[in-house]
Chain A
Amino acid sequence: MPCPPSGVSAKMGPAPGPAARGREPSYLGYVWFQLEEVGTLRILAIVKQVPDSNAAVKVTADGKGIDQTGLKLVVDPFDEFGIELAVQLKEKRKDVAEVVALTVGGDKAAEALRVALAMGADRGIHANDPAFETKDELFYAAVIAAAVKKESAPIDLIVTGKYNIDLDAGAVGAAVAEYVDWPHIAAVTGFELAADGKSFVARRRIEGAEEVVEGALPVVLTIEKGMVEPRYPSLPNLMKAKKKPVALLTSKDLAVDAGLAAGLQFLSLFPPPPRPACKMVPGEPDQMAKELVRLLREEAKVV
């Protein structure tokens, strides 16, 4: 079969229909080749499976974890922003080769990965090993960084949520950036990648203002709420996602510094104390106001 000219990739397929009109098809023997520019950029979205924010979370009797029976697990809503951004970049630009979704977690986390694949990621990486279980975001980030380094072709952009709603530590993006030695931009509210596919302008929310940051890839972005609106994965895409490739990685594949795992010791988990009963102040408005001030001064001692 003749080789396509270098710098372009050849995609085999049926004769182009009306949708492909305008492109130049070339007829080579018995198949049609459609010539396209090669995408080179590779984007990785970190996806964590977390308890649903509406779920009634119960602490296990030993105080070491959360009762998983019947617990509803979802893709972290902040990580969904990252997936959406990655997929939008792929849809808008010709130079994005692929969007890779990565998750660290047990067997169930495959469901989170499937949501990412259904939203439009091309393939998945599932780091699944009891040794990866952690409540320490630095260790979690180290596992992710090891998986990133293991990729045969380099990743150019890593996107993930500003924080994860389970641990709320907000360290994942920053720590991954540190381990792979890239810059990190936090709480991103806007991202424009230049036509060259290298330089970018990002916006981030800071106290009372917005900061504009310029830079060049590679970079880790942690996404703020409101930047993009995550799509619902459609049911046909959920089914198709079953067929997308997912690479399984265990502790045999990923070398993670064991010392890191001991960096933070997890002691116990307990539900917050119940809120004290609400005190209603009875009476007419002027009496109520007086009584309220008295209570605030004498009982609560806040004024």
Chain B
Amino acid sequence: MTDTRTPDFLEVDSLLAPDERQVRDTVARFVDAQVLPVIADCFETGRFPMELVAPMADLGLFGPTLSDYGCAGLNHIAYGLIMQELERGDSGVRSFASVQSSLVMYPIHRWGSAQQKEHWLPRLAGGQAIGCFGLTEPDGGSDAGTMKTRAHLRGSDWVLNGAKMWITNGTVADVAVVWAQTDEGIRGFLVEKGTPGYTTRDIPHKFSLRASVTSELFFDECVLPAASRLPGAHGLACPLSCLTEARYGIAWGAIGAASACYREALEFARQRKLFGSTLAAKQMTQVRLAEMLRRIVSAQLLALQLGRLKDAGRVHHTQVSLAKWNNVRAALDVARDARDLLGAGGITVELATIRHLLNLESVITYEGTETIHQLIVGREITGEEAF
């Protein structure tokens, strides 16, 4: 078995190219040295580790699949491995990178004007600017097509009214990619922090993703110059394709969270002596650990094949849905069982497992709930829409 931080029971490592491994190891090292020492405290105090933004940018973690604007031009396997390692640290840190890369840089790169790209992409890549993505609304996230936020033209300006909820990085973002209904259909806008009529507020009392900022965005007669619209973005398919990018990363990220829990449970089982032997020597525990490993190995292979399809330009969004659903569910099951195996010690943030477990409760909800992904796959195989 390869000595990586994530278990490698099936030598999946041997299916990676040397530079893919090197990217993973570089990020793994960063996570070990800079994320793990601070993250339990961040989670406990409900603080996003803002001090990690600059080192993450220096490492090239924002927009790594882009090949211009100083970005690394990595393939999607390498991108997935970055997400896996970041989430081995914490889902909140991975969420930050997901939002910045897949939900903010990706749409600007794909549908932005030359001016928007030149202004924002270097800053977002360099960590001088933080972005957020506003799609979900208070009245329901799953049915994004019926959003109530509206933009209408006044002269050449756009006027935005409405609210967005559960927005990662909302209050700390310098730019928000906001999706709104217009007379011509759904359009995307870049709203800069400080624009009159645009305010934000953090959502308190979260018990999940505590090392991540989650906010509400409010638009009250918010006037935006014509140049703030993403000129290439037309229709709901655009925000949904951003979500496909981010969901792809989450399918990998979940492996990291699951691995961290599995490692902790395995270590504990080896040390803990009860009823005359270590827990590791008991059938019951072995079955539980083997189940965890089985889930992780399946998730790894699924993510890898998904990534190869993506790099070949053949991935379908329903395949991404299947992977997000499977891998996050697998991680959540692993985390829950690992938590139980750790006994009382498993309820404190001294151990990583409960932090991952609580985080994964968000991860299974955002970027399409588990049910939504099941219904997407269901529609694909039956041809019947059942939402």
Chain B residue at smallest Cβ distance from A240: B72
Chain A residue at smallest Cβ distance from B125: A236
Compute how far the CA of A54 lies from the CA of B2 in the bound complex, rounded to whole angstroms: 12
Measured between beta carbons, the chain B residues less than 8 angstroms from A242 are 19
Give 10 A-B pairs besides A70-B13, A238-B72 with Cβ atoms closer than 8 angstroms.
A56-B3, A70-B8, A114-B22, A232-B58, A233-B26, A234-B72, A236-B72, A238-B22, A238-B23, A239-B74
Compute how far the CA of A110 lies from the CA of B72 in the bound complex, rounded to whole angstroms: 20
- Residues of chain B from 10 to 66 with CB closer than 8 A to chain A in the complex: 11, 13-14, 18-19, 21-23, 25-27, 29-30, 58-61, 64
Measured between beta carbons, the chain B residues less than 8 angstroms from A72 are 2-4, 25
Min Cβ gap B55→A in Å is 8
Chain B residues in the interface with A (C-beta under 8 A): 1-4, 8, 11, 13-14, 18-19, 21-23, 25-27, 29-30, 58-61, 64, 70-74, 78, 82
Question: Is A55 part of the binding interface, using a Cβ–Cβ cutoff of 8 Å?
Answer: yes
Q: Indicate the member of B2, B60, B70, B73 with the most A CB atoms within 10 Å.
A: B60
Measured between beta carbons, the chain A residues less than 8 angstroms from B70 are 236
Min Cβ gap B68→A in Å is 11
The 8 tightest CB contacts between A and B, nearest first, are: A235-B60, A70-B2, A235-B72, A236-B72, A55-B3, A234-B60, A72-B3, A236-B60
Compute how far the CA of A238 lies from the CA of B75 in the bound complex, rounded to whole angstroms: 13
Compute how far the CA of A242 lies from the CA of B17 in the bound complex, rounded to whole angstroms: 13
Measured between beta carbons, the chain A residues less than 8 angstroms from B2 are 70-72
Interface size class of A (residues with CB under 8 A): 20 to 34
Question: Is A45 part of the binding interface, using a Cβ–Cβ cutoff of 8 Å?
Answer: no
Q: Which of B3, B13, B29, B59 contacts A235 (CB 8 A)?
A: B59
Measured between beta carbons, the chain A residues less than 8 angstroms from B29 are 232
Min Cβ gap A254→B in Å is 25
Compute how far the CA of A114 lies from the CA of B2 in the bound complex, rounded to whole angstroms: 21
Contacts A70-B2, A111-B22 given: A234-B58 contact, CB under 8 Å?
A: yes
Q: Is B3's CB under 8 angstroms from A234's CB?
A: no
Q: Is B59's CB under 8 angstroms from A232's CB?
A: yes
Measured between beta carbons, the chain B residues less than 8 angstroms from A232 are 26, 29-30, 58-59
Chain B residue at smallest Cβ distance from A51: B3
Q: Which of B11, B23, B25 contacts A70 (CB 8 A)?
A: B11
Compute how far the CA of A239 lies from the CA of B72 in the bound complex, rounded to whole angstroms: 6
A-B contact pairs, 10 of them (CB 8 A): A56-B3, A232-B59, A233-B26, A235-B26, A235-B27, A235-B78, A235-B82, A237-B60, A239-B19, A239-B74
Q: Is A235's CB under 8 angstroms from B8's CB?
A: no
Compute how far the CA of A72 lies from the CA of B16 in the bound complex, rounded to whole angstroms: 13
Measured between beta carbons, the chain A residues less than 8 angstroms from B78 are 235
Compute how far the CA of A56 lies from the CA of B64 in the bound complex, rounded to whole angstroms: 32
Compute how far the CA of A115 lies from the CA of B22 in the bound complex, rounded to whole angstroms: 8
Chain B residue at smallest Cβ distance from A233: B26
Compute how far the CA of A74 lies from the CA of B22 in the bound complex, rounded to whole angstroms: 10
Compute how far the CA of A108 lies from the CA of B73 in the bound complex, rounded to whole angstroms: 23
Question: Is A52 part of the binding interface, using a Cβ–Cβ cutoff of 8 Å?
Answer: yes
Q: Is B4's CB under 8 angstroms from A238's CB?
A: no
Measured between beta carbons, the chain B residues less than 8 angstroms from A237 are 60
Compute how far the CA of A71 lies from the CA of B8 in the bound complex, rounded to whole angstroms: 12
Compute how far the CA of A232 lies from the CA of B14 in the bound complex, rounded to whole angstroms: 24
- Residues of chain A from 218 to 272 with CB closer than 8 A to chain B in the complex: 232-239, 242
Measured between beta carbons, the chain A residues less than 8 angstroms from B71 are 236
Chain A residue at smallest Cβ distance from B59: A234
Measured between beta carbons, the chain A residues less than 8 angstroms from B22 are 111, 114-115, 238
Measured between beta carbons, the chain B residues less than 8 angstroms from A236 are 60, 70-73
Q: Is A239's CB under 8 angstroms from B4's CB?
A: no
Compute how far the CA of A236 lies from the CA of B74 in the bound complex, rounded to whole angstroms: 8
Q: Is A70's CB under 8 angstroms from B1's CB?
A: yes
Q: Is A235's CB under 8 angstroms from B74's CB?
A: yes
Measured between beta carbons, the chain A residues less than 8 angstroms from B58 are 232, 234
